[in-house]
Chains A and B, each alone.
Chain A
Amino acid sequence: DTGVSQDPRHKITKRGQNVTFRCDPISEHNRLYWYRQTLGQGPEFLTYFQNEAQLEKSRLLSDRFSAERPKGSFSTLEIQRTEQGDSAMYLCASSSGFGVRGTQYFGPGTRLLVL
């Protein structure tokens, strides 16, 4: 499968714990996005990387959230001191650039449940 992959697919954690998710984009894609999706809603933009540079962060991304893409390939999203309101599906998407190649392809998501 050469699509976007995410790990883990499901995560259950207790409030106050830290969690980390991983996203592996399509190999030639230099742009990587994180979105959050709650039940009954569309995905909401969290942050964007072009290669290893994090170029935009949403106001939704509190200081408990941090994302990295150290070598411009895979990315990690860490949530510290999780809260019940963090429960959601975290989606990663990648694209290869601009114009017709700018279409974003999504991974299967990591579903987080904070108890």
Chain B
Amino acid sequence: GENVEQHPSTLSVQEGDSAVIKCTYSDSASNYFPWYKQELGKRPQLIIDIRSNVGEKKDQRIAVTLNKTAKHFSLHITETQPEDSAVYFCAASLTSGTYKYIFGTGTRLKVLA
């Protein structure tokens, strides 16, 4: 069935360093990949997304890369700051039908000051 694996489950980095979170999806028909940030007790917030017709997308300190052949996509955060500390979820979806999201299990990122 549909599945998204996410690694690592926890990640600690020093402030200013980069963080990379990786996801693998199973359904080769997936063509939309959003990333959400969830702070404790708050709603998931979209931070960046990528569609399957591009290989990379960047928004300031955040970038996402997609390798359709390998069914991998990754989130890259550069120059991390303490406020980046949160749980990050990747998801995969089809841009047809119900557009339901299949989420990964999350990565708890801790940025150490």
Contacts and interface: CB of A to CB of B under 8 A. Distances in A.
Interface string B74-108: 00000000000000010101011011111111100
Q: Looking at chain B, what size class is its interface with the partner chain? A: 20 to 34
A90 B63 CA distance: 29
B98 A56 contact: yes
Given A103-B46, A108-B43, A95 B89 contact: no
Nearest to A45: B100
A33 interface: yes
Contacts of B100: 33, 45, 48, 56
Interface string A27-67: 00001010100001111110010100001100000000000
Interface in A60-106: 91, 95, 98-99, 102-106
Interface in B2-37: 4, 6, 32, 34, 36
A2 to B, nearest CB: 14
A40 B107 CA distance: 9
Contact of B103 (A44, A50, A95, A98): A44
Interface of B: 4, 6, 32, 34, 36, 42-46, 49, 89, 91, 93, 95-96, 98-106
